[in-house]
Amino acid sequence: MELHPVPGLVLLIPGGWIDEDVGVVEGPFVPSGFVVPLALTTEQFRLEPLGPQHNDSDYEAWSSSVEHIHMTPGWETSSWPDDRSVMDNLRDLQAHADDFENRAGFTYTVLDLATGDVIGCVYIYPDHSEQHDARVRSWVRASRPELDVQLWRAVTNWLADEWPFQRVAYAERADGA
């Protein structure tokens, strides 16, 4: 069943969390013939679809970086990260995997190439406004802040080169790298 959110209604997602990213969606997020990329690899990291298999490493990455994430461009006013449990996080990861499978939104985990550990995430979802085709947010763990600008650049170029969006909302980063 495909959900089409209605203005003024709040959607409660599995695990009891309110989805703050819900907006009015008319038509598919990406064209039916579009082949969604399953990876992006750079010299420092690899993006792959986020799923339940990443739960322990994902939970450790964001829960050790809450203040850092809230200071990351695009996350300043977000209610996440919060104090959810590992099991609540697992439900959240399953919801992201379901969104990916249903082409409703695309969340990628950012993995360290050397260790395979989760070092961040990238979220590609429909935008609330009619000003943008997609809204993108990303974060890296507090122990790897030097990768934030590199991730932003790589994802910005990837979106321009391989995705069908013309207008993307993705908070710019200060060019410190």
- Residue 57 neighbours by CB distance under 10 Å: 16
pLDDT for 129 equals: 81
The pLDDT confidence band at residue 15, using thresholds 50, 70 and 90, is very low
In this prediction, residues 104-119 reach a mean pLDDT of 95
The pLDDT confidence band at residue 23, using thresholds 50, 70 and 90, is very low
Rounded distance, CA 156 to CA 150, Å? Answer: 10
The pLDDT confidence band at residue 26, using thresholds 50, 70 and 90, is low
CA nearest to 140, candidates 123, 116, 122: 122
* Whole-prediction pTM: 0.83
In contact, 159 and 168? CB cutoff 8 Å: yes
100 membership: H or E segment, kind and range: helix 86-101
The set of residues, in sequence order, having a beta carbon less than 8 Å from that of 30 and lying 6+ positions away, is 36, 103, 163, 164
The pLDDT confidence band at residue 40, using thresholds 50, 70 and 90, is very high
Nearest-Å Rg of the Cα atoms of the chain is 15
Rounded distance, CA 150 to CA 148, Å? Answer: 5
